[in-house]
Amino acid sequence: MKIATAAYPLDPLTTWADYAAKITRWVADAAGQGADLAVFPEYGAMELAMLAGPEVAGDLERSLHAVSGLIVDVDDLHADLATRYGLHILAASAPVFDPALGPRPVNRARLFSPNGGRGAQDKQIMTRFERETWGVVPGGPLQVFETSLGKIGILICYDSEFPLLGRGLSDVDLLLVPSCTEALAGYWRVRIGAMARALENQCVTVMASNVGDAGWSPAVDENTGMGGIFGPPDTGFPPNGVIAEGSLNIPGWTLAEVDPGRIAHVRADGVVLNRKHWSEQAGRDAAATYQRIS
């Protein structure tokens, strides 16, 4: 399969037609390069807040409601594009007010298949900004999506930094990591997490990023990152684990061919078998003793 992952610039769009045209251009570009899967970043949907005007976009609470109110239409657009262009799409995550989960919004990514299938994954662990300032809360549980490309899981940004969440998705072939990172340090925290999850689970991880400034939004005003596709540094994969990476802060798609057979092979007969040997940690992680040697 061919995977396209985005370094996505947030634009101060003023009409729905402008937004739909932008997303269509991006999807058409990925499909035109042969992509079977296109991955957009975390909180890329925040550019929708500008459709309600700069005053709303510049207010943290009002921007949440403005974006959430458009998600039904956003999802219908992505579902149509997935069918029209014949590829899977992970839409940029968005704040969503879901009455079934309480009064505060969750951070939700949505996955669309070419045959009309839809799935959703909520972020599990909130960053300090999300929990202390913005009031975004954890949502529904981890999901494994069975698709024609294989089993797909999603860890949204900060979630990728927690190995037990990754372990909960250890059956997936592709682990998608949509991210939104302000500083270079944040980008590398998520990237290191994504690469570690590829190592532990012997799978392929796909990281997407927002890039550039969006001063009209206090939520996503500064963005640093690039697209990246990673695997275990083992049999059938590059020795540094980097299958493909973009250029820092340069908008566009990063693309790579991924052979699912290589994932199956490294899990069955890699130089090491991290995924298989995970359970051997049990008990040993709590068995440390103190020994004075000075």
**Residues of the chain where predicted confidence (pLDDT) is lower than 50:** none
182, part of any domain: yes
290, part of any domain: no
CATH number at residue 203: 3.60.110.10
Range of the domain at 42: 2-284
101, part of any domain: yes
Q: How many domains is the chain partitioned into structurally?
A: 1
289, part of any domain: no
74, part of any domain: yes
Strands 150-154, 228-230: pairing is unpaired
147, part of any domain: yes
**Nearest to 91, CA basis, from 51, 38, 48:** 38
291, part of any domain: no
Rounded to whole angstroms, the Cα distance separating 87 from 89 reads 6
pLDDT of amino acid 108: 98
**Nearest to 82, CA basis, from 134, 126, 119:** 119
pLDDT of amino acid 289: 82
SS3 of residue 178 by DSSP: strand
Q: Which residue has the tokens 């004075």?
A: 292
Rounded to whole angstroms, the Cα distance separating 165 from 126 reads 13
Q: Considering the entire predicted model, what is its pTM?
A: 0.97
292, part of any domain: no
Q: How many CB atoms lie within 10 A of CB 268?
A: 11
DSSP state of 137: B
